[in-house]
Amino acid sequence: MVFLDEDWCFFLQFIHFFGEEEPFVIELDIASVDELFLHEEIAPSSLRQLINSLKRSKVLSDPIIVDKKSRVVLDGTHRVSAFREMGFPYILVAYVDYSNKLIQLKRWFRVLNGPKDSVVEALRSVKHCEMRISDIDLSILDDEIAIIKDDSIFVVEADRDVFEKYSILRELERKLIKRGVSIDYVTEQEAIEFWSQGKTILMTPRITKQDVIRYAKQNRVLPPKSTRHVFPFRPIFVNFPLNLLSSSNIEKEMLRAILKEFLLNKIALKIEGRVIIDRFYEENYLLVFV
């Protein structure tokens, strides 16, 4: 459903109702790149690939997703970083209300591939305790860094501050990679399935929405692949021209009006999510622009 706000010349709102739940609203708009806050680090190799891809395509396919109140980027860290490096003043955003309980904040677990002895060697660099998996309820590890290898669990001892835990995690991952261990990032459920197949997995500490906002506003960025946001629905394939976002000669209000006209000439189709298109989308629904 498309809803035109009274300030209709500036943006479009897309509203979806989920039964008795509060409606979920996404607002497409133009934001100044410099006003946004990031909560995760970028991976340099991924950033270079993205910049090259943007230069080839000449469009921004998907809007970044931003909490409207705090201006914290929930999805699109690399796109914002690419725009900053290319000197673009504006970017296409989908504003959301992060407090909406329909937005889920999940984690990325890790699968550690390589010699298991290398994992043990890397663990020697941090304080940890070892337990048998049969002696512990895994749910109590939600706030910890824990490596599950065979029938053993290695729990890393760390300060209660989540940011400090992820700082330790960052260093542990570097030591693992240095010792020849490759890391795959998977969902929580996928990690358990890999462990059942004999793989070594790394569980990451739980992060709250309040943590994400607080650290971002303090310019304290978490390691890459710390958070995984799942939205009730996600807009994709808008394909807004980059040349419009790259010019500082166009006022933001004029650019918003151009975006409005651009979107009104497209059809927004709501399709079933949890599908693989250019990647896997966890959302239940996707809003595809054609």
Whether 56 and 189 map to the same domain: the answer is no
- Select the highest-mean-pLDDT range: 131-135, 233-237, 276-280: 233-237
Whether 229 and 281 map to the same domain: the answer is yes
Whether residue 150 is predicted with pLDDT greater than 50 in this model: the reply is yes
Grade residue 16 by pLDDT with cuts at 50, 70 and 90: confident
**Alpha-carbon torsion angle 63, 90, 52, 112, nearest 10:** -50
For 165-225, give the DSSP string: HHHHHHHHHHHHHHTT-EEEEE-HHHHHHHHHTT-EEEE-----HHHHHHHHHTT-PBPTT
User: If you average pLDDT over residues 250-269, what whole number do you get?
Assistant: 93
Q: Is the distance from CB of 235 to CB of 62 less than 8 angstroms?
A: yes
29: CATH? 3.90.1530.10
Q: 176, 203, 230: which is the final residue of a domain?
A: 203
Whether residue 5 is predicted with pLDDT greater than 60 in this model: the reply is no
Structure tokens at 17: 């109702």
Q: Is 28 exposed, middle or buried (0-12, 13-18, 19+ CB in 10 A)?
A: buried
Number of domains in the chain: 2
Per the structure, the complete domain to which residue 58 belongs is given by: 2-104+212-289
Whether 187 and 219 map to the same domain: the answer is no
pTM of the model: 0.92
Whether 118 and 96 map to the same domain: the answer is no
For 60-75, what is each residue's pLDDT tens digit?
Answer: 999 999 999 999 999 9
Whether 6 and 100 map to the same domain: the answer is yes
